Amino acid sequence: MKAIKMAENIYRVGANIENGDLFEGMWPIPDGVSLNAYVLTGLKTALIDLVRDWDNAPDELTKQIDELGIKKFDYLILNHIEPDHTGWLNGFLRKHPDTKILTTKKGAAMIEGFYHVTENVSVVKSGDTLDLGKGIELVFEEIPNVHWPETMVTYEKSSGILFACDAFGSYGSISEKVFDDQLSEEEHAFYDRESLRYYANIVGSFSVFVQRAVAKLADLEIKMIAPSHGIIWRENPSEIINRYLKFASYMNGPAEPEITIVWGSMYGNTKEVLTSIIEGIRSEGVVVHVHQTPDEDVSWALASAWKSRGLVLGMPTYEYKMFPPMSAVIDMFERKHINNKKVLRFGSYGWSGGAQKEFDKITEGLKWDCMEPVEWQGRAKEEDHKKAYESGKALAKAIKEM
Ligand code: FEO
């Protein structure tokens, strides 16, 4: 990649992570993820955000910085300390030992914790400014809990660029076409999907704070949004802001009039009934997303569930409890605040059942409106298929009225 000019004396530098690693050690990124950093060259030089020592990202960043002819940085501005943006800090400081780090108070404590760095660290707070010369003036604004407590954004006044770090980000590598106005409809559709998955996986639990952050930034004249993952919004920055507000609104509902099914089956007896439920849902013309576990990672089911009003969870009873892979899905849904859903559970049992009892107990605090489950012993009979069809249809009808 090359450094990309965004405005006079302001550049995007960075790297794509495409080595097959999991993001945060747990989320699949089959189409990669970009780590974006930003170089500002006033009379003083600044680098906003950094990279992790990951898939040659530091070498890539260094190459682009060298191409810009920059020998030293006066400032390293760290909006967020999660190691995908700071993991290379000790290596960077060996190359640029005189750089002053600017971050929030909580950020400074994390830098000491993660990297044992305490010298040359200055704390900034909301409203503080930094004049780099040549008309480049930065303003800092704390946006706590989007998605870590130390997080801030940096706004450049003359260009109207908001360096937003994780806020407004997305999974997916980026090409040298980094701006929204350079992408095809298909490419936009890809980042739309991957921004939802990123949001549901990483940011969703903090949706209240996303809403607060957007309200806090409302007075800024934002002409460009430059996140630390994904594309840069130059033509239409309000699109990604509105998209994030829409995603945030799903937490308390209502979400989209769609249904997500997550299912797992041991010998195919639960799987057989899935078709009847889907037919019932489709008879009402409702969009349905289907995810199988443990075959598919929960990352995608989370994204679908986040935006759906209705959930169908299919699992057999396994040793008096839920089929363990589905138990793990529900545990993740609880952790990631998949709240306020209309829910149907279905599944087979071998002798006495028990999955429903555990399901009821575990989902008690989730604000789920659960329908009567569809359960049967062994292989479903015609009447069980009929009940499954009718339950799918009833769920679809209900979510259309929410
Ligand atoms: Fe991209 Fe929260 O780090």
Res 193 pLDDT > 90: yes
Burial of 56 (0-12, 13-18, 19+ CB in 10 A): middle
84 lines ligand 1 (CB under 6 A): yes
Same structural domain, 308 and 280: yes
Nearest CA to ligand 1 atom 3: 82
- β-bridge pairing 121-123 and 129-133: unpaired
State the DSSP code for 198.
H
| Buried/exposed code over 133-155 (b: 16+ C-beta within 10 A; e: otherwise) | eeebebbbbbbbbbbbebbbbbb
Q: How far away, in angstroms, is 321 Cα from ligand 1 center?
A: 36
Q: Using the atom order of ligand 1, give the atom closest to the CA of residue 35.
A: 1
CATH number at residue 310: 3.40.50.360
**For range 143-158, the mean pLDDT:** 98
- Average pLDDT for the chain: 97
If asked whether residues 184 and 214 sit together in one domain, one would say yes
SS3 347: strand
Which is nearest to 296 in space by CA: 250, 262, 339? 262
80 CB within 6 A, ligand 1: yes
Separation of 202 CA from ligand 1 center, angstroms? Answer: 8
Nearest Cα residue to atom 2 of ligand 1: 82
What atom in ligand 1 is closest to the CA of residue 24? 3
Domain closes at, from 249, 267, 295: 249
Residue nearest to atom 1 of ligand 1 (CA): 166
Q: Are residues 46 and 116 in the same domain?
A: yes
Tell me, in angstroms, the distance from the centre of ligand 1 to residue 391's CA. 41
Query: Which of 257, 248, 145, 152 minimizes the C-alpha distance to 196?
Result: 248
What atom of ligand 1 comes closest to residue 147's alpha carbon? 2
Residue 347's domain comprises: 256-401
* pLDDT at residue 283, as a whole number: 98
49 lines ligand 1 (CB under 6 A): no
Mean pLDDT for 9-26 is: 98
pLDDT at 253 over 90: no
CB distance 228 to ligand 1 below 6 Å: yes
Q: Among 249, 265, 280, give the residue marking a domain's end.
A: 249
Q: Are residues 242 and 284 in the same domain?
A: no
One domain for residues 84 and 203? yes
Residue 171's nearest CA partner among 337, 18, 4 is 18
**Does 156 sit in the ligand 1 pocket, CB within 6 Å?**
no
Which domain CATH number covers 175? 3.60.15.10
Which pLDDT belongs to residue 293? 98
Do residues 96 and 125 share a domain?
A: yes
150 touches ligand 1 (CB under 6 Å): no
Per-residue confidence band for 269, with pLDDT thresholds at 50, 70 and 90: very high
Condensed to tens digits (0 to 9), the pLDDT of residues 195-215 reads 999 999 999 999 999 999 999
Looking at the predicted structure, is the pLDDT value of residue 326 above 90?
yes
Query: Position of tokens 């089929």?
Result: 323
Per-residue pLDDT band for 359 (boundaries 50, 70, 90) equals: very high
**What confidence score (pLDDT) does residue 342 get?**
97
What's the structural domain count of the chain? 2
Q: Which of 230, 249, 268 is the last residue of a domain?
A: 249
271/194 same-domain check: no
Ligand 1 within 6 A of CB of 339:
no
136 CA to middle of ligand 1, Å? 26
Q: What is the mean pLDDT of residues 109-122?
A: 98
224 and 316: one domain? no
Burial 298-308 (b: 16+ CB within 10 A, else e): bbbbbbbbbbb
What contacts 215, CB < 8 A, 6 or more positions away? none
Contact 152, 143 (CB under 8 A): yes
State the distance from the centre of ligand 1 to the C-alpha of 245, rounded, in angstroms: 19
CB of 180 closer than 6 angstroms to any ligand 1 atom: no
Same domain, 100 and 69: yes
Q: Residue 263 is inside which H or E element, if any? A: strand 256-263
Is 52 near ligand 1, meaning CB less than 6 Å away? no
Q: How confident is the model at residue 365 (pLDDT cuts 50, 70, 90)?
A: confident
| CB of 85 closer than 6 angstroms to any ligand 1 atom | yes
Q: What confidence tier does 167 reach under pLDDT thresholds 50, 70, 90?
A: very high
Q: State whether 197 and 236 are in the same domain.
A: yes
Asked if 174 and 318 sit in the same domain, the reply is: no
**276/363 same-domain check:** yes
